[in-house]
Structure 1
């Protein structure tokens, strides 16, 4: 086992880079290609060259015969001369009478010793060939084309190929000679060229390997970097590889995986946060329940005690006759307060339930404000408080009349309850963008900033002593909050320079 581990470690130390791998692969492929080319060249180049010369010579003569058979004698001679010059061959045409019809010893070639030599060789070959009658018989048997080789008189000259073909239409025989050039020297030059080519190819392969490595390694490095971050749950970076290949597909898959994991972890974090929030809400709700029970108990304890005490006193005739009506009024008043508290609690419970629905209609809220203020005119006068009203003539709203009356009643009674002696209460309407703000402001003491957001909670009273003469039930502002939330009306409370201002905003119609 240890030896395997050591072997793996040893192998890891000798990791081959992509550049080296590409260089080795390219070098091997190139070596195989060059080696195969050299082997094929050495084995088949000369044979291919001879085969090509033979087929070309046959094709040339066959095409010549087609035009030759259509031409007159003068034109025939021109065609043969043109074909000789164009293809560097020698042509002699014989009639079956064995007399030379056209023999190329032309004055124009008298200075070209090579052509004259080849013409003589072709003439000598024809003489020898005609001596054997079997040659004519064989010519008719072998598809009208015979290829033979002839060695020149000058041993330093190249070997010749002679094509013998019959022209049955004119009862003639065509002899065409072309020279075979030595290929050994050409092969040697090509091999030397290959050597230079191989040296240049080494540098080219190195450059190509470097380019390939950059094309392949750089994207892989980027992918590895992103994968490492992904392993550490860091999804901030994406693979910027846009190639339309396997590497690009891997990068796209990694990005897809990263995005899905990020979304999954984000969802998990959100779920955990939501769970923590729900737990916290549950704790707060439990606290609210305890506070609610304590508050209700406190609110009901006093009136119940008063009713119980005074009722027992009346039953036992403890009080004088002239005081009985006074204590009976107290019992009735406390019972009424208990009824109001229970009514408010039921109303708040209904508002907070999912079954509550507003009865909306379009109306002018200004008369509603005036009607509500009219109800508390006497109470305002009793407190020696001045009222300043600044309202628009018409403010159309689409709302629940009865519920908005509750809101206005609560804000106005709250202002009356907390306004200072000889103070002022202001009721105003103001235009603000797409809303109309309705404000009820009273002079007097400010609300502590620490408590200003808590006044909307159930049974929360700024007066910690819970003085029954000053405070209400402690549920009114909770009811107001729920009514305005159901209407989707912005609302709030502010400490102003002169006192405290409650407000809510209705959208313009």
Structure 2
């Protein structure tokens, strides 16, 4: 993104970091040398104060103070020399006593007096000129000798000394303690400018490394800030396309999280609202489709009913007219035959109308499906027992070997109607060995009930049409046993209302119809 917040964050913080380091470098380069030098002065003055305190207490010559002096010299990197009134060494630490004594006398001889006055009047004047003894050596050795502090009571001088011989700077302090001892303190400034340069270079290296590291860290941290914003932008983009599945999943409690939660709430509200609109629109569409289906089904129903009722009505009408006209009045057997035909055809019409009403209720969803737990084995045994007369009339052998209860979920009354249709079809299409074989096959979640009858298999081209209303494979035979072609349509409607499967399988010696029910699992 051209105007990325992440980049802006990174640039601002990197700029602040670089600016802070540059400011530190400037302060370090400008004031570090002064601070270092001031610190050295403080160290020297502190050493002097401790020696003067020991001189006042009379402990300057003690072993304990000697140890303390050695520690002081080592800690602050200073050289210390203390002389008594006879110029004898009392204490020395951190340097060669002879060299320290020479340096001290050089200060005494050349730096103590103001004008012509000297601290030691009996001391001869130093000779000057090239090769002229101490004076010339001292002058050759010292490039600059700058007095920083001078105190007269007690007398001491702090000086910045630059040595020509060794090209080094020293901070020297000399004078008298309160007990009259002469002292000399020297500390090397150790190339302070070099130290400042090294410190500045080190700070520059550290600053560059810190800036780079901070830039990387800030880039990573800013990603955690900008990623939720980009996520919200992506969610809002999806919402513009009516996709409300996206949700903000941040777990923080900052302002972005509050915004994300509000967007989630808005998405939920919009989703519910649009869902209600779509549901209403879908129901309206279903109503329109159902109306069209009802019109088509009404037309089909009227056509099929008129076709199916035409034959029995014609027979009833013909035989009734024959009876009215007195045909075969003298033949009682003929009259009885006419009446039997009328009664039989009336019964077929009544049975067909009942089945059509049942099918109509199932297809239009007016029939309530009651799901209950029942024993399918007992249902089959009870029906077989009630159909014993039909079994004997059809000279059929019925085999069902299951005795253990098997519990299923379903509408018990409608399940019995499904089994009744399969069983009656099997009896009406028996041939050959005239066997009806009933089996139960249990799966993990379902129970399959199959009804097999020996006879002629169903033609393959008729299999897909068996479940259609009024479809008959053999119309003459169906007419013979009073079939209406509606039974298997009722099976289809019942099984679909319970969301269960059904079907038919052809064998060489017969046909098997099956249906499934939900098994009651053991808990």
Same fold flag (TM > 0.5) = yes
The total of aligned residue pairs comes to 459
Match of 1:446 among 453, 458, 482: 458
In the alignment, the residues of structure 2 paired with residue 153 and residue 487 of structure 1 have an alpha-carbon distance, to the nearest angstrom, of 111
In the alignment, the residues of structure 1 paired with residue 291 and residue 476 of structure 2 have an alpha-carbon distance, to the nearest angstrom, of 28
Match of 2:185 among 154, 177, 182: 177
CA contact 1:457–1:478 (8 Å) conserved in 2: yes
Match of 1:414 among 387, 406, 425: 425
- Is residue 392 from structure 1 mapped to residue 401 from structure 2 by the alignment? yes
In the alignment, the residues of structure 1 paired with residue 34 and residue 61 of structure 2 have an alpha-carbon distance, to the nearest angstrom, of 38
CA contact 1:163–1:175 (8 Å) conserved in 2: yes
TM-score (norm. length: structure 1): 0.62
CA contact 1:91–1:174 (8 Å) conserved in 2: no
User: Secondary structure in 2 aligned to 1:337?
Assistant: helix
Deviations 1:433-477 (A, max 9, x none): 44474423231141434x434433443433579963366123322
Distance 1:180 1:447, change over 3 A: same
Aligned-CA RMSD value? 6.3
Counterpart mapping for 1:297-336 below 5 A: 297-312=306-321, 314-315=323-324, 317=326, 320=329, 322=331, 323-336=334-347
- Is residue 149 from structure 1 mapped to residue 155 from structure 2 by the alignment? no
CA contact 1:427–1:438 (8 Å) conserved in 2: no
State the Cα distance separating 1:43 from its structure 2 match.
2.9
Distance 1:289 1:453, change over 3 A: farther
User: Secondary structure in 2 aligned to 1:40?
Assistant: helix
User: Secondary structure in 2 aligned to 1:502?
Assistant: strand
State the Cα distance separating 1:52 from its structure 2 match.
0.8
Match of 1:57 among 36, 44, 64: 44
1:426 corresponds in structure 2 to 435
- Is residue 116 from structure 1 mapped to residue 102 from structure 2 by the alignment? yes
Deviations 1:366-421 (A, max 9, x none): 6435424522145424xxxxx343331624244777655544432233123334xx
In the alignment, the residues of structure 2 paired with residue 58 and residue 125 of structure 1 have an alpha-carbon distance, to the nearest angstrom, of 19
1:380 corresponds in structure 2 to 394
CA contact 2:81–2:101 (8 Å) conserved in 1: no
Distance 1:165 1:481, change over 3 A: farther
User: Secondary structure in 1 aligned to 2:479?
Assistant: coil
State the Cα distance separating 1:28 from its structure 2 match.
6.7
Distance 1:36 1:356, change over 3 A: closer
2:378 corresponds in structure 1 to 364
2:145 corresponds in structure 1 to none
1:73 corresponds in structure 2 to 61
User: Secondary structure in 1 aligned to 2:370?
Assistant: coil
CA contact 2:54–2:65 (8 Å) conserved in 1: no
In the alignment, the residues of structure 2 paired with residue 341 and residue 295 of structure 1 have an alpha-carbon distance, to the nearest angstrom, of 11
CA contact 1:440–1:501 (8 Å) conserved in 2: yes
In the alignment, the residues of structure 2 paired with residue 85 and residue 426 of structure 1 have an alpha-carbon distance, to the nearest angstrom, of 124
Match of 1:462 among 469, 473, 487: 473
CA contact 1:22–1:209 (8 Å) conserved in 2: no
State the Cα distance separating 1:300 from its structure 2 match.
3.2
User: Secondary structure in 1 aligned to 2:505?
Assistant: strand
Distance 1:36 1:296, change over 3 A: same
TM-score (norm. length: structure 2): 0.61
- Is residue 287 from structure 1 mapped to residue 296 from structure 2 by the alignment? yes
In the alignment, the residues of structure 1 paired with residue 487 and residue 187 of structure 2 have an alpha-carbon distance, to the nearest angstrom, of 124
Deviations 1:35-90 (A, max 9, x none): 54554345323321221112223444455677775957332662475257424545
2:512 corresponds in structure 1 to 501
Distance 1:81 1:357, change over 3 A: closer
CA contact 1:410–1:477 (8 Å) conserved in 2: yes
User: Secondary structure in 2 aligned to 1:472?
Assistant: coil
User: Secondary structure in 2 aligned to 1:340?
Assistant: helix
2:33 corresponds in structure 1 to 46
